[in-house]
Structure 1
Amino acid sequence: MGLNLRAKLLLSLTTVLAVLSIVGFMTLNVQSDWGFIVQHRGSRLLGMLLVAITMGLATVVFQTITHNRILTPSLMGFDVLYVLVHSLALLVWGVGQNTGWPVELRFIVEVAVMVSIALVIFRLLFTDSVRGLHVLILLGMVTGLLFRELAELAQRIFDPSEFSIQQGSGIANFNRINVQLLWVGLIGVGLCSALLFRFRHQLDVLILGRDVAINLGIPYTKTITLLMLAICVLVSISTALVGPMLFFGLLVANLAYWITGSHQHRWTLPASVLAGIVCLVGGQLVFEHLLNSGLPLAMIIELCGGVLFIVLLLRGVKQ
């Protein structure tokens, strides 16, 4: 089943805006040699593209397996969980870089620990027992707050200079992308994206509910575990690159639903990525190069996402 004319036009417009955002970010107000521009802006662009992909795909898939358009991995505290694991890892390995462990290897170990804990949390919260939406949101908020406080407590053990640096990493910032993890992040995003797109037809079945999916031959437990693993890896990569963002995934996922007017994942998954690119790269282009504003883009995104969250919560939207 394809898209109607309205959805095709909106999807085409979003694609054009995404391409223009990328081209504009790399070319507007260029006052230096292209080698420096590609190195400086190119790394930031790659980081924002990875964040757009990770948060868009992770949120759409998470909402599919939880059967709700309000819940997201960030609202359930998964991004702050990675911050906590990272802070505890720094206590074990030390803040300095000369610890004998490459940064990429340390990141992989941290992701593995975070995924293990997140899978346990998911199993505890999303079992056969039915919990109301408000209870799940409350549990997610409380869990996220607990993780954040524990991470801050761990960071306070650092010396004052290192504490200020690590405390700043708990806030999303698109001007401070962790370039050391770009390539390992790119590999991780590529593998997880390929897995999720491969499972797009199973996701179309999972959206119908657990019992229907099992009756139609979907190995439910195995499939959900693989999808949750990919979600956790994607959230970890996004958080490691720019920091935690509470409402960005909610914003781009619901934009994808509005653009496509469909629940088919062959459309909603790429639409969420395109919407994320427009929000991140296009927003950074407008604030940084057109308005010359120092206003943090993350603050605007979180404000818009927060308003959307309140609207959806009041309406009680469910899939």
Structure 2
Amino acid sequence: MKPLISLLILLISCFFSALVAIKHGAIDINASAVWQTLFAYDAKAFEQKIVMELRIPRVILAFVAGSGLALAGIILQTVTRNPLADPYLFGISSGASFGVVLLITFTGITAGWAMSGAAFLGSALAMTLLLLIAYGQRARQVEAMLLAGVALSFLFSAFTSLLLYWSDPQAVSAIMFWNLGSFSRADWQWLWLPCSIVLLCMACMLLFRRGLNALLLGDESAATLGIQVAKLRLVMLLLSSLLTAVLVAMCGGIGFVGLMIPHLVRFFISQATSIGLLCTALSGGLMMIWVDLFARTILDNQELPIGVITAAIGSVFFLTLLTLKQKRP
């Protein structure tokens, strides 16, 4: 019953956290106005319009982004059997950012579908280079993927910085703010895209859950259990690439979520089960709802970049984790 209770607690926490995030912001909305918006929306009411057109899409995008990044972290940590695996560490996010910045710099296009496509091409390029390097060293494939990912992350970050150096000064500030992470682009028109991709990835992970669990035992053990290791790893890496690309295109760079949330969930529940995967997704979404609320309320008339907050939280978390492990006998 413990996994089911954990899942129920997370569901209730996400629901009430979303209501709190919708209510608070630059303008605090009465709870009655929030309920009226949900059940009897009046487009002429100013507060209800804020809730429907600004707050609800933003909260949904924050939840979906947190869930998606947490799932991307699980995928990479499973297929590489490395607890430090993360979309940023493997260069996927840097490649996606490079694709988006390349698009904006040379075309000025900021449409959601175009940015998602450019981000996916950039992340796919990073993933292709990563696989080519890793499969060239089959004896140390997992270690090679980690080292190659770090190198590719710095490489794409350097290219992105070079593009920003050549860009128009007025566009640089907008691109830099986007690259640091923000949910201000949340819009009903494009919200279906990240929601559908995250749901698709969750369904695929549940479908291939047994194969993913087998990979944790090692490639040879998984192969003896009938798992096609190379194909499964390629599919999962492409899935992680797609997931990261869409979220980077919509939200910009948000780090440490895919690295931190899986570790936190493992303290309380096994991620080898379907409920464990659902709890991980809900935990990521719950965290991002509160991070976004903090980002837009801590300072008056200003919004902090989401990526800065998650990086600060993630750094403190891992320093604390490292200290606790050193103190153990």
> What is the TM-score of this pair, normalised by structure 2?
0.80
Aligned to 1:266: 274
The alignment status of 1:95 with 2:108, answered yes or no, reads: yes
After superposition, the Cα gap between the structure-2 partners of 1:112 and 1:275, relative to the gap in structure 1 and judged at 3 Å, is: same
Q: Over residues 171-190 of structure 1, what are the superposed CA-to-partner deviations in whole Å (9 max), with x where a residue is unaligned? A: 11234547764333333333
Residues 21-36 of structure 1 mapped to structure 2, 5 A cutoff: 21-28=17-24, 29-30=28-29, 32-36=46-50
User: Aligned equivalents of 1:156 and 1:259: distance in 2?
Assistant: 46
After superposition, the Cα gap between the structure-2 partners of 1:70 and 1:265, relative to the gap in structure 1 and judged at 3 Å, is: farther
Contact map agreement 2:66 2:257 (CA 8 A) in 1:
no
Aligned to 2:42: none
**1:109 shift after superposition:** 4.9
Contact map agreement 2:61 2:191 (CA 8 A) in 1:
yes
Which of 267-276 and 302-311 deviates more? 302-311
Q: Over residues 127-150 of structure 1, what are the superposed CA-to-partner deviations in whole Å (9 max), with x where a residue is unaligned? A: 5222786x8666544432221121
Residues 1-319 of structure 1 mapped to structure 2, 5 A cutoff: 5=2, 7-28=3-24, 29-30=28-29, 32-92=46-106, 94-96=107-109, 103-105=112-114, 107-125=116-134, 127-130=137-140, 139-177=148-186, 181-260=190-269, 262-285=270-293, 288=296, 296-310=305-319
Q: Over residues 226-274 of structure 1, what are the superposed CA-to-partner deviations in whole Å (9 max), with x where a residue is unaligned? A: 11111001111121122112212111111221231x1414133211111
- Count of equivalent residues: 305
Which of 53-62 and 175-184 deviates more? 175-184
Q: Over residues 189-247 of structure 1, what are the superposed CA-to-partner deviations in whole Å (9 max), with x where a residue is unaligned? A: 33223222211222122221111111111111111111111100111112112211221
After superposition, the Cα gap between the structure-2 partners of 1:256 and 1:84, relative to the gap in structure 1 and judged at 3 Å, is: same
Contact map agreement 2:67 2:283 (CA 8 A) in 1:
no
**1:57 shift after superposition:** 0.8
**1:107 shift after superposition:** 2.7
Contact map agreement 2:67 2:281 (CA 8 A) in 1:
yes
User: Aligned equivalents of 1:294 and 1:109: distance in 2?
Assistant: 26
After superposition, the Cα gap between the structure-2 partners of 1:238 and 1:265, relative to the gap in structure 1 and judged at 3 Å, is: farther
Which of 147-156 and 288-297 deviates more? 288-297
RCO higher in 1 or 2 (8 Å CA, sep ≥ 6)? 1
Could you list the runs of 5+ residues in structure 2 that have no partner in the other structure?
31-45
After superposition, the Cα gap between the structure-2 partners of 1:163 and 1:105, relative to the gap in structure 1 and judged at 3 Å, is: closer
Matched residue of 2:71: which SS?
helix
Contact map agreement 1:178 1:242 (CA 8 A) in 2:
no
User: Aligned equivalents of 1:300 and 1:111: distance in 2?
Assistant: 25
User: Aligned equivalents of 1:170 and 1:157: distance in 2?
Assistant: 16
Matched residue of 2:193: which SS?
helix
**1:44 shift after superposition:** 0.7
